[in-house]
Amino acid sequence: MTTQQQAAMQSMIEWLADEHELGREPSKIEIAGEFDLHDMHYYIFKYKKSMLGKWLLGVCGGYEDLSDTQHCGHVFSEMQPYDPATAEQEAITIVEMIREYWMKQAAAIEAESQNATSEEEEAAEDDSSGIFNGFVLLNSSECDLEQIKANLLQDWDISCPPPEEEEQNAAKEKDGTLVFDVDGFMLAVSFVDAPVPDGEAEYFAQANYLWKDAVEVTKTHVAQIILAVFTRSGSPLDSAKLYTKLAASCLKLPNAIGIYTSGTVFQPELYLEFADLMKSDDMLPLLNLVHFGLVGTESGMSGYTYGLRAFGKDEIEILDSQAAPSELRDFLIDVSGYILEQDVTLRDGETIGFSAEQKLQITRSEGVYVNGDSLKIQF
């Protein structure tokens, strides 16, 4: 066994022995494989809680060089059964979830994404299909995690965390954090006793033309709850619905004044109203997930979507249209609903229409009101 392998095994043992994890050293542990990901080296472990127990999966890494003995912090186990046929893919999924979670938190708290190049932003967005995140704004420095859990259970029949994860999550909850799995998705809730940095939420609140007091109300927030849902095996649509349920459960807190997501700040009452539509027919709450922006120009009215990229689709822009604002918005809603519900991918050079006569040209080019490339529809 190499020095690095010995160090990785010791790190895995120490992680498992923590009182908030296994609580003791595993009765048996072996290196079951290795893999490289994002220019880092990782080790797959199989271990047993007891001598007669079943093998469970763990992962430790990454190491930048074969001589390194210090990993980057990616040590984790969901204590799921070890299957040699799927172990590597499951380990990669674990690492990707850890990376995505902390990358999203860092971007949210430090606003580091503003310093990224447009090329890096586009690449990150392309990799984010099925990942939904947002920030519930609070007007006091309090976060009642127990109430959020109660809302999830009462409104959506979601146990948070599931009974088998309660002991592992107890310490994290004391720090204002919840991380748990639901039906193939990972959900994360993290309380931050500070407003969204650099006036970012107030700036984007200006885009909500449906809420005249959006900016003034947003200015009153002093803390936030960072929300994220990551898909492991489910579809982006199911991830979006689960994210909406999580957000709605947080927005029912008495000190929640709005949610900054999809390029604007949504009013709690309206967000909850649209979320409730899922209770009757499980429809996609499109208006909670995609913001339909409108911008007046010298040549007419322009519109854009903000939120389709989370589903793995291009954002849509309509420039200098002569249509009325309500007509333009309705068209964007119809097209977006069609794309998501039918899983359609529109391409440069194609046409789209909602009648035999309507054939609207589609082009793909650098976005005007959104980052990266967007689809321009002549409407």
Residue 74 has pLDDT above 60, yes or no: yes
Are the beta carbons of 239 and 130 closer than 8 angstroms? yes
Residue 212 has pLDDT above 80, yes or no: yes
> In the prediction, which pLDDT does 329 show?
95
Question: pTM of the predicted model, to two decimals?
Answer: 0.66
Residue 74 to residues 12, 28, 37, 70, 97: CA-CA distances in angstroms?
Answer: 10, 21, 12, 11, 10
Average pLDDT over residues 41-59: 92
Residue 205 has pLDDT above 90, yes or no: yes
What is the percent of the chain where pLDDT is above 70?
88
Residue 195 per-residue DSSP state: P
Cα(165)–Cα(344) distance, integer angstroms: 38
Residue 126: pLDDT band by 50, 70, 90 thresholds? Answer: very low
Q: In terms of DSSP H, where are the helices of the chain?
A: 3-17, 87-110, 118-126, 145-156, 166-174, 200-205, 214-218, 236-251, 268-275, 277-281, 286-289, 325-341
What pairs with residue 57 in β-bridges? 46
Instruction: Write down the mean pLDDT value for the chain.
Output: 87
Residue linked to tokens 């310490």: 171
Are the beta carbons of 222 and 138 closer than 8 angstroms? yes
Tell me what percent of the chain is helix, strand and coil, each rounded to the nearest 5.
Answer: 40, 30, 35
pLDDT digits (tens, 9 = 90+) for 179-193: 888 888 889 899 998
pLDDT digits (tens, 9 = 90+) for 273-325: 999 999 888 789 999 999 999 999 899 999 999 999 999 999 999 999 999 99
Residue 204 has pLDDT above 50, yes or no: yes
* Among the listed residues 183, 139, 12, the one whose alpha carbon sits nearest the alpha carbon of residue 82: 12
> In the prediction, which pLDDT does 238 show?
93
Torsion 14-15-20-24 (CA) sign = negative
Residue linked to tokens 């090329």: 119
